[in-house]
Amino acid sequence: MARDDIGDGAVVVAEAEAAAPAQIASTLTLFQVEQSLVLLAESAEEEGVTPELEQALIRYLEGAVEKRDRVAEFILFCEGMADLAKAEVKRLQVRQKHFEATAERVSTMVLRVLDYLGVTKLEGRTHTLKKRKCPASVKIVEEEKIPPGYKRITVTLPLGQWQALLGSIPDESQKTVLSSVRKQETSLDLETIKLALNLEEKIDGADLVVNKFTLHVS
């Protein structure tokens, strides 16, 4: 097990105003995160939360007060790393679009140069800039004028209404409609289910969970 002291860069969770998770993630290093907690978390991810793992965490939390702080700091560290990863995904998406647009602009400029020079390619030492015809593609000039037969519509409505709608039309028409469905996804309206269960309505396959708790780290 790692040493009880955390290190100079540790963030004290017991402060009046705890640092934001992202700030903690940026100040703590992997060497400052309690190794035993990392092992416990990895074991829980691989094997699930077993009684042995629960007992190990109980022994850890029953130890010195500093270890409880370390558990809180570890949770904040993980939350902060998740926030940083989310921000990094957004940054990389912006970066991706930037480079894609830049490559498109430069490619367009090179095509104009090739046309100006009256050639279809320019040779370099390691690369070739070559004008190549693209496959036929569609250009939409006025979407409003395109006939309905060439359009697809996505409608989201309660499954019961969809079934009632199908039941109100002849069987042959039902088969025609269903055969035209390109993609069908069914999702649960959890807010409506929760409201109904709160009103003590019985819904087969669903229960209202009232004694569930989340851990707040401050």
Most confident of 21-35, 65-79, 121-135: 121-135
In sequence order, which residues have a C-beta less than 8 Å from that of residue 20 and are 6 or more positions away? 80
Say if residue 82's pLDDT is above 80. yes
Closest Cα to residue 76, out of 9, 26, 36?
26
Segment among 9-13, 41-45, 116-120 with least mean pLDDT:
9-13
Measured from the Cβ of residue 192, the count of other Cβ atoms closer than 10 Å reads: 11
Q: How large is the angle between the packed helices 35-47 and 51-61, nearest 10 degrees?
A: 160
Say if residue 134's pLDDT is above 70. yes
State the pLDDT at residue 94: 95
Q: What pLDDT band is residue 23 in, cutting at 50, 70 and 90?
A: low
Helix (H), strand (E) at residue 58? helix 51-61
